[in-house]
Amino acid sequence: MMIGDGMDLQLKGKKVLVTAASKGLGMACAQLYAEEGAQVWIASRNKQQLEQAKQTIIHQTGNAQVEAVMCDLTKEEEIKQLFAETGSIDILINNIGGPPAGAFDEFADQDWQQAFERLLMSVIRTVRAAAPSMKDRQFGRIVTITSSSMKQSLDGLLLSNTFRPAIVGLSKSLSQELAGDGILINSVGPGTMETDRIRDLYQPAQIQQLGENIPIGRIGQPDEFAKAVVFLGSGANTYITGQTLVVDGGSMKAL
């Protein structure tokens, strides 16, 4: 006897927007959505990189339904323009480049304000733009890519440690407000995944060392992260909302 409808992700014909998707984790998510037959929109700031990412995704997945829109997610007007171009979407994957590293004494008010705009306001604005049409259709999935710092602080990343947990609080409240309209919202935090972000923060020898200290014995690959995001942001996820998931190879010891 069948107990359900299997693990069909139910992504064919679904319209997905992945922000900050010209490389790294965002691009890996966009690629997996394309593989699963979704109609994928990618957004980020650099036109050339974005176009290159679009062509790579089309080439590697054979899915030509990939659109690219330039958008700086720290700018309210550009987010409005992005949604004017995409129209209504079914699935929103929030992503944006991380804030600079540093300790308390190194940051002035302006740095705090920029991190607030970058990490928190970008999510508030994209959800504000995406939610009304999701409500109309009584279906929506929202996943925000954060960091393991949403659960456990990271040394030397004070801005991340402050604003990533704020996204968790926001998402929990939104999950309560939106569940009745069929909209599920979750946050997924990478531990250490091999992208330019990690190559910018650490030297190769440090990356090797980081991997050795992870229970699974290595740092993660972007596609390993994307699988978690794509499941939570799919029609196969029907009952998980308001949750935070860390994809970290077992690094975090907190329950």
- Interface ranges with ligand NAD (CB under 6 A): 20-26, 44-46, 71-74, 95-98, 145, 147, 190, 192-193, 195-198
Work out how close the CB of 198 gets to ligand NAD at its nearest, in angstroms, rounded to a whole number: 5
Closest distance between ligand NAD and the C-beta of residue 25, in Å?
4
Cα-based torsion angle of the residue sequence 19, 17, 139, 60 in order, rounded to the nearest 10 degrees: -120
Query: Which of 68, 183 has the CB closer to ligand NAD?
Result: 68
- Closer CB to ligand NAD, residue 181 or residue 224? 224
Pick the closer one to ligand NAD by CB: 19 or 61.
19
- Distance between CA atoms of residues 125 and 74, nearest Å: 10
Quickly count: other Cβ atoms within 10 Å of residue 37's Cβ.
16
Write down the least CB distance from residue 46 to ligand NAD, Å.
Answer: 6
Nearer of residues 38 and 188 to ligand NAD, judged by Cβ: 188
How far CA 164 is from CA of 24, 79, 151, 255, in Å, comes to: 19, 20, 9, 18
Q: Least distance in Å: CB of 97 to ligand NAD?
A: 3
Under 8 Å between Cβ of 226 and 25: yes
CB of 68 to ligand NAD, least distance (A): 11
User: What type of residue sits at position 86?
Assistant: T
Q: Smaller CB distance to ligand NAD: residue 13 or 215?
A: 215
Residue nearer to ligand NAD on the CB measure, 7 or 254 = 254
Q: How far is the CB of 224 from ligand NAD (least distance, A)?
A: 11
